[in-house]
Structure 1
Amino acid sequence: MDRPCHPVNESGAPLRRAALAVGILLLSGCSLFQAPTIQRGNRVTEDQLKEITPGVQTRTDVQTLLGSPTQTSTFGDPTWYYISSRTRQRPGRELAVTDQQVVVVQFDASGVVREVRTIGADEGKPVDMVQRETPTPGNDRSLLQALFGNVGRIGPGASVPVSPGATGSGTGRQ
């Protein structure tokens, strides 16, 4: 009588296959649950930039073609900035900027376009944020002051309203 021969290691094969299938599903889910890319600002295309001719077009022409600028210059020559970026929210962290573009349109004194240029993220200057805070008087309280700060502030009978012109001990009786 011949008995079928089964290798000893074959008993764990279904478990390995299931673990492999679960691993593949988990790895494919990593890209499935990424936050979508969000376009922020007014994105200016290359075709729109080609339509702007320095020395010919005015502020009105640029605004008709590109829309309102994101920012304008405060001092100096009249300059419009069209700032746009693509961002993605990272779990538990700040927004990740994936692509940033700044289009600078400079005008002369009569409002005619003088120069159009694009600034990439590599040309930007990093700005260090100041970490100190302006002190506000009256807000430095210890833990005990915060817990027991109102104890003793309310006198006896203050919780019962007294009508105007009433006399008495403040209990509401006349």
Structure 2
Amino acid sequence: MTAIQKLRGVGPALAKVLAANGVETIETLAAMEDARLRSIPGIGANRAASLKTAAKAQAGSSPAAANADLAAQSVNSKAAGQEERDAQAGTSPVQAEMDAKLAEAEAARQAAEEKAAKAQAKARKAKRQAVQLAAEFAEAKVKAKQKARKVKAKAKKAIEKEKAKAKAILEGRAPEKKKKKAKK
């Protein structure tokens, strides 16, 4: 017998669900009735068909294929026993499937709410960062304007100084200064 986990398309989670419903080998799955397979939570008509096809193909190539009928009888008797227990408990397979789907939907809703809460927290953090960056930008802008004013004032003074020198040179004062320096 081949473990159900070795079947293509069956991961750890699905293998756990199948095992909980009495399907522990590929041969068991291959011999299982379609309606019984579809009654397992999380397995719909399409998935049941693809699993069954893969199981039959793999079971046909394994040496344990001869025991498939025996396994099917075992699963069918377990299923009948489960249905009887469900009937005594007041739940039908349809009700059990609906309960399972309801639980699955509730889990999905909770996951979506958690994801939304994380997204909102992330948005709040981004907003705080944007406000902080805007404040830093405004501060940097003020500093840049102040620095530009200082540089401009310095440049104006330097220009005035150069103009004064040029005017002095043109008026002829500069040569006198040179003469005075030469006399000393």
> Shorter-chain-normalised TM-score: which range?
under 0.3
The higher radius of gyration belongs to 2
Report the structure, 1 or 2, having the larger helix content: 2
Q: TM-score normalized by structure 1? A: 0.25
